[in-house]
């Protein structure tokens, strides 16, 4: 999604902005731009273009790069108006230039009001409306102008703002869209994401709602709408610069697939103790007497929630509902006083997941966030947070975040089951020991890399691929299918294997690839029958099953998985599914880390 950066200091601002924007490229974007106070004439110079940062660099070369040391920059992921030079950010009014992440829902009525006041518009964006609205209210007092403008705006925003007559300050404000103000030495920054500032500093403030950050070369202040100083703790980014680099891998996605053993180890090893499972700050007994659990999330995180449902229900015998966040928030859900709401999110900023969390809080249920990004909105607003220690996930396609979310689901299921008397000390101890072995098994599964590459050679021309499975195998099939379609652009669907005969099997034709996941001991024979049914109609079956299963010669290709307890199988079977999707995308020449139309963090509805 869109990225915001801002810089003031002694360095060449254009260089810093381009460099910082490059570290946000992974978020996905289709145009880019910068606005810089030019030292030559003191005016704000705005240069923007459709396309990648390389296009912006070319344009800066051809029009002349502004020489100043203060400015703002943006990568835009189109929402209002197609990707084009005119719709790229920054946008300006007479005395104000801004960059914006988010969506202004009432932009159309605001635009009409501003037109009546004499403003003209040159783009199709909601952002230009915000720029002109701030401009309209600007009578020499930036705080008053920002305060008045945002009081009229409905929607989500993070703004970086330059007032043309204040060349030594950047202003920033946010609502429902992340933004930080970072503190350097003789230089300060704003950014929508931590990787943008890592090269320069690790110290940053989280800007909260109803706060305005005012950044100059030597000062970084955060004030409320009355101009009162807000004192808040300086945060320290723990990410390393190398964590946000490819380290010799051709793509972030492949690097992140291979980081999974470590990510899972980091997530489980400090929490699993001799006596139990310790989630920082979550007291013993927290999960006792829960009547119902609601897991709400989007995309891959929702698929991790599906796995969570199966294992929590089977171990703790507590009903679990899994919802897509964008559905949950608008379906008037029924939440009881003893219910528990779990939000899963890698970024911690997904708009629908955040809204679902707020709804749950409003309805009075306890909330728990399972989140990867420390200090993100979902992490801050939930009653409790369990961080997944995956480190930064840069590729748009989520891989290691899924694996650590699964690891948290196993630990959570164990803890809920134990606190509700559904497993005894012995089984609880066994479960903990088994979770600790997962990183090694995941490492073993990474050895399927070459096989997956070869399978991609065979299947990469497919136009449709089905994934089938039952129970937990179905849950992981959904993730395998999403991975494949989002990066290789092959149409793909996941079906509960037993459901095929109720309609979908009519789509099976000669040569159609079907990926069958059949790694659950008690369901294996059932899925095998479904495999035979699709084979009989010409399907080419790639089977994932446990080592030593019988009758598997029905499949055309086979990947075998070590025999570990069924509840952990998704952690193993997902690895070849990720590698398969990756090599399919590579083989088809796709932009693996930045698939078309997608963004890493979906901060709009």
Interface positions with ligand M6R (CB under 6 A): 298-301, 345-347, 350, 353, 396-398, 482, 486, 601-602
Residues, the chain, total?
A: 605
488, 592 contact by CB (below 8 A): no
Task: Count CB-CB contacts under 10 A for residue 465.
Answer: 25
Q: Which of the 8 DSSP states describes residue 90?
A: P
SS3 content of the chain, % helix, strand, coil (to 5): 40, 20, 40
Spatial distance between the Cα atoms of 63 and 79, rounded to a whole number of angstroms: 27
Residue 482 CB, nearest distance to ligand M6R (Å)? 6
Q: What are phi and psi of 455, to 5 degrees?
A: -65, -35
- CB neighbour class for 68 (10 Å; exposed up to 12, middle 13-18, buried from 19): buried
Would you say 49 or 377 has its CB closer to ligand M6R?
Answer: 377
Residue 299 CB, nearest distance to ligand M6R (Å)? 2
Spatial distance between the Cα atoms of 482 and 484, rounded to a whole number of angstroms: 5
Spatial distance between the Cα atoms of 149 and 140, rounded to a whole number of angstroms: 14
Beta bridge partners of 323: 296
Residue 333 CB, nearest distance to ligand M6R (Å)? 18
Would you say 520 or 601 has its CB closer to ligand M6R?
Answer: 601
2: annotated active-site residue: yes
Residue 174 CB, nearest distance to ligand M6R (Å)? 17
Return the structure tokens found at 405: 């979310």
Residue 599 CB, nearest distance to ligand M6R (Å)? 8
Q: Which parts of 465-523 fold into alpha helices (H)?
A: 472-488
Task: Count CB-CB contacts under 10 A for residue 425.
Answer: 10
Would you say 176 or 540 has its CB closer to ligand M6R?
Answer: 176
Q: For strand 292-297 and strand 70-76, is the pairing parallel, antiparallel, or unpaired?
A: unpaired
Catalytic site residue from 255, 483, 594, 600? 600
Would you say 95 or 372 has its CB closer to ligand M6R?
Answer: 372
Q: Is the dihedral of CA 388, 389, 390, 391 positive or negative?
A: positive
Closest residue to ligand M6R, based on beta-carbon distance: 299
Spatial distance between the Cα atoms of 485 and 502, rounded to a whole number of angstroms: 23
Residue 19 CB, nearest distance to ligand M6R (Å)? 25
Spatial distance between the Cα atoms of 361 and 341, rounded to a whole number of angstroms: 9
Would you say 101 or 345 has its CB closer to ligand M6R?
Answer: 345
Residue 258 CB, nearest distance to ligand M6R (Å)? 17
Would you say 49 or 353 has its CB closer to ligand M6R?
Answer: 353
Would you say 32 or 397 has its CB closer to ligand M6R?
Answer: 397
Residue 236 CB, nearest distance to ligand M6R (Å)? 22
Residues 6+ apart with CB under 8 A from 56: 18, 32, 33, 34, 47, 48, 49
Would you say 33 or 299 has its CB closer to ligand M6R?
Answer: 299
Would you say 160 or 305 has its CB closer to ligand M6R?
Answer: 305
The SS3 of residue 502 is: helix
Would you say 97 or 603 has its CB closer to ligand M6R?
Answer: 603
Spatial distance between the Cα atoms of 540 and 458, rounded to a whole number of angstroms: 11
Sheet-wide strand order for 235-236: 44-50, 31-37, 70-76, 3-8, 188-191, 180-183, 203-206, 235-236
267, 390 contact by CB (below 8 A): yes
Residue 553 CB, nearest distance to ligand M6R (Å)? 34
593, 398 contact by CB (below 8 A): no
Spatial distance between the Cα atoms of 412 and 323, rounded to a whole number of angstroms: 18
Task: Count CB-CB contacts under 10 A for residue 454.
Answer: 12
Spatial distance between the Cα atoms of 411 and 315, rounded to a whole number of angstroms: 11
> Which residue carries 């049914």 as its tokens?
533
Catalytic site residue from 2, 70, 545, 590? 2
**Beta strand ranges found along 207-291 (DSSP E):** 211-215, 220-224, 235-236
Residue 306 CB, nearest distance to ligand M6R (Å)? 12
> Which residue carries 């006041």 as its tokens?
117
Residue 418 CB, nearest distance to ligand M6R (Å)? 27
Would you say 53 or 482 has its CB closer to ligand M6R?
Answer: 482
Active site residues: 2, 600
């Amino acid at each position: 999604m869109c990225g915001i950066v801002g810089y003031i200091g002694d360095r060449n601002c254009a260089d810093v902005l381009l460099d910082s924007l490059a570290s946000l490229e992974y978020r996905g974007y289709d145009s880019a731009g910068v606005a810089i106070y030019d030292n030559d004439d003191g005016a704000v110079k705005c240069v923007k273009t459709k396309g990648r940062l390389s296009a912006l660099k070319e344009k800066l070369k051809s029009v002349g790069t502004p020489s100043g040391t203060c400015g703002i920059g943006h990568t835009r992921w189109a929402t209002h108006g197609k990707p084009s030079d005119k719709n790229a950010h920054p946008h300006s009014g007479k005395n104000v230039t801004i960059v914006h992440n988010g969506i202004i829902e009432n932009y159309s009525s605001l635009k009409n009001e501003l037109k009546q006041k004499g403003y003209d518009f040159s783009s199709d964006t909601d952002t230009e409306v915000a720029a002109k609205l701030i401009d309209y209210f600007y009578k020499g007092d930036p705080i008053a102008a920002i305060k008045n403008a945002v009081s009229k705006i409905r929607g989500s925003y993070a703004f970086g703002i330059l007032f043309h007559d204040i060349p030594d300050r950047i202003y920033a404000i946010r609502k429902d869209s992340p933004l930080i103000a970072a503190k350097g030495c003789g230089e300060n920054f704003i950014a929508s994401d931590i990787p943008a500032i890592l090269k320069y500093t690790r110290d940053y403030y989280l800007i909260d709602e109803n706060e305005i950050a005012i950044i100059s070369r030597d000062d970084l202040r955060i004030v409320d709408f009355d101009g009162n100083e807000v004192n808040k703790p300086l945060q320290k980014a723990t990410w390393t610069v190398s964590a946000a680099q490819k380290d010799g891998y051709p793509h972030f996605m492949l690097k992140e697939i291979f980081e999974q053993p470590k990510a899972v180890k980091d997530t489980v090893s400090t929490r699993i103790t001799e006596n139990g499972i310790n989630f920082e700050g979550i007291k013993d007994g927290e999960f006792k007497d829960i009547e119902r659990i609601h897991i709400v999330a989007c995309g891959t995180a929702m698929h991790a929630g599906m796995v969570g449902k199966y294992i929590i229900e089977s171990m703790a015998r507590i009903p679990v509902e899994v919802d897509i966040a964008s559905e949950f928030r608008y379906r008037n859900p029924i939440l009881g006083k003893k219910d528990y709401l779990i939000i899963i999110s890698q970024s911690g900023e997904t708009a629908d997941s955040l809204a679902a969390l707020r709804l749950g809080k409003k309805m009075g249920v306890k909330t728990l966030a399972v989140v990867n990004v420390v200090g993100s909105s979902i992490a801050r607003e939930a009653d409790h947070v369990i961080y997944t220690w995956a480190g930064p996930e840069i590729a748009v396609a989520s891989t290691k975040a899924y694996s650590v979310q699964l690891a948290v689901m196993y630990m959570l299921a164990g803890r809920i089951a134990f606190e509700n008397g559904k497993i005894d000390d012995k089984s609880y101890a066994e479960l903990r020991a088994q979770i600790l072995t997962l990183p090694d098994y995941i490492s073993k599964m990474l050895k399927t890399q070459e096989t997956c590459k070869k399978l991609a050679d065979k299947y990469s021309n497919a136009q449709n691929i089905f994934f089938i499975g039952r129970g937990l195998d179905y849950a992981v099939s959904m993730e395998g299918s999403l991975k494949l379609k989002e990066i290789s652009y092959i149409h793909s669907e996941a079906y509960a294997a037993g459901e095929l005969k109720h309609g979908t099997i009519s789509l099976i034709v000669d040569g159609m690839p079907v990926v069958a996941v059949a790694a659950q001991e008690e369901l294996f024979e059932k899925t095998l029958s479904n495999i035979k049914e699709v084979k009989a109609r010409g399907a080419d079956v790639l089977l994932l099953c446990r080592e030593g299963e019988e009758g598997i010669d029905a499949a055309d290709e086979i990947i075998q998985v070590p025999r570990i307890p069924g509840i952990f199988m998704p952690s193993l079977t997902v690895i070849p599914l990720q590698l398969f999707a990756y090599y399919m995308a590579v083989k088809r020449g796709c932009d693996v880390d930045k698939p078309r139309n997608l963004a890493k963090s979906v901060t709009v509805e």
